Amino acid sequence: MSDILRISRDGRVAHVALNRPDKRNALSAALCHELVKTLEEADHDPGAGAILLTANGKAFCAGMDLDEIGIAGSEAINQAHEQLFTIGARVSTPIVAAVRGPALGGGMGLAANCHIVVAAEDASFGLTEIRLGLWPFLIFRAVAEAIGERRSIELALTGRTFGGREAVELGLAHEVAAEPEARAAEIAFAVAESSPTAVRSGMTFVQQARGRDWHSAGQLALHIRNYVFGSPDFEEGIRAFREKRRPKWPSLGE
């Protein structure tokens, strides 16, 4: 693996940092492939309870790498983009992101795929593809899921940028923090302390319930809830609550 990603581990939190600061962390083909591979590997790691996504340099992600525009229509990069911009709907390990500086085009799509987003005051978001004579085709679904289709259309048509505060108002980010990396890490560690059975079951429900009718989604909820009700983690959670102590989740072998 190259150095375009910095990967580390702290307890049950897998930390992934975009590391192309000289290119404002633009999404090259190599970065897309490595990021998808790394996030999927973290998702399959039973020891990882949360993924912390950050970026080195002054920009979170400036979008597609325009230096590679000639290969942008190739099957390989199309597949990499599709995998990256659907990652939030596919992984069961929560992704917590810290966004500082620009998150434009694909950068905004990447943020929309994260399950919890902490933005800096100086963060800037936007679907700026229209300025290049393009439409945000592959990222549109995740953005619309986060902020609604009508607002997403407005942003795609105008290409306007907006800051962290508006990102919170729209639902793209969850909060603004003076030190977004520290706050996102705090959240990631808190998430990672929760029951792996509960977290993965909940994330699976969210993914599988999407697009179902009301009755079918309810049946799915009952099925998964009954599974969690019968799990050793739930038994331990109830016992720990009554005994006023920290749970020792059996699914972690504690």
Catalytic residues: 129
Alpha helices of the chain — where are they, by DSSP H?
A: 29-43, 75-84, 106-112, 137-147, 149-158, 164-170, 180-192, 196-209, 214-229, 232-243
Q: Please state, in angstroms and as integers, the Cα–Cα distance from residue 135 to each residue in 129, 142, 176, following that order.
A: 6, 14, 28
Q: Find out whether 94 and 203 touch, Cβ atoms under 8 Å.
A: yes
Angle at 85 between CA 212 and CA 117, to 5 degrees: 90
The two beta strands, 50-55 and 95-99, are parallel
User: Rounded distance, CA 42 to CA 14, Å?
Assistant: 7
- The type of residue at 56 is N
- Residue 173 token pair: 């980010």
